[in-house]
Chains A and B, each alone.
Chain A
């Protein structure tokens, strides 16, 4: 099974801050990496797929990068609507794996 290590588990930030979340995989996933945002009581919402492809309607302050086994989600200027939990996900196989999640909280 492919293991995912996401960090940090929580981070406190202010509106306007640049935020970076890291995800490491136990083996190569051929860039089949996605990022999700989840707010309390809601289903996850897909932000990015294939490492860096932004979904339609997702603000351009979100970006993804990385290769091999290390990947990053960056929010260039944190907005009030961005306080949520973020998950990375590998879909190199049908047996998906998710990172442990990063809760972005208000400082």
Chain B
């Protein structure tokens, strides 16, 4: 069974930093593109970042480019999101997602909440 478990969220002041982690199990983590998707309270889903299986290519939403860094440790089946220069508008539930539709399927973690507030 595919499992994705996010951690690292919390309350942080504007301008601060936070590192999110996503522990994966139930599939061959090193074979799949991984995504971070966020959802602000009461709002819709927003792509944040993606990383290819070997980490060689990364993709970012314009709103986080230059502030967030996605990475992965395939030896530990773990995905990361390093967030810096955080803003109020980054307040969201952050989901770790593997979307290999038609084969593995689309699987989401339960999310970790990031609150940016003074």
Contact = CB atoms under 8 A, between A and B. Distances in A.
Given A49-B101, A87-B44, A96 B50 contact: yes
B110 A43 contact: yes
B111 A98 contact: no
A55 interface: yes
B109 interface: yes
Nearest to B37: A96
> 7 tightest A-B contacts by CB?
A49-B101, A46-B106, A43-B108, A98-B45, A94-B50, A96-B47, A101-B44
**Chain A facing B: main interface SS:** loop
Interface in A88-107: 89, 91, 93-101
Contacts of A46: 99, 101, 105-106
Is chain B's interface secondary structure helix, strand, loop, or mixed overall?
Answer: strand
Interface of B: 33, 35, 37, 44-47, 50, 52, 57, 59-62, 95, 99, 101-102, 105-106, 108-111
A50 B57 CA distance: 24
Given A55-B106, A94-B52, A98-B45, 6 more contacts: A43-B108, A46-B105, A50-B101, A53-B101, A53-B102, A96-B99
Interface in A71-96: 87, 89, 91, 93-96
Contacts of A53: 101-102
A89 B105 CA distance: 14
B46 A91 contact: no
Nearest to B61: A95
Contacts of A97: 47
Contacts of A44: 45, 95, 108
Contact of A98 (B33, B46, B59, B110): B46
Contacts of A1: 62
A34 interface: yes
Contact of A101 (B45, B95, B99): B45
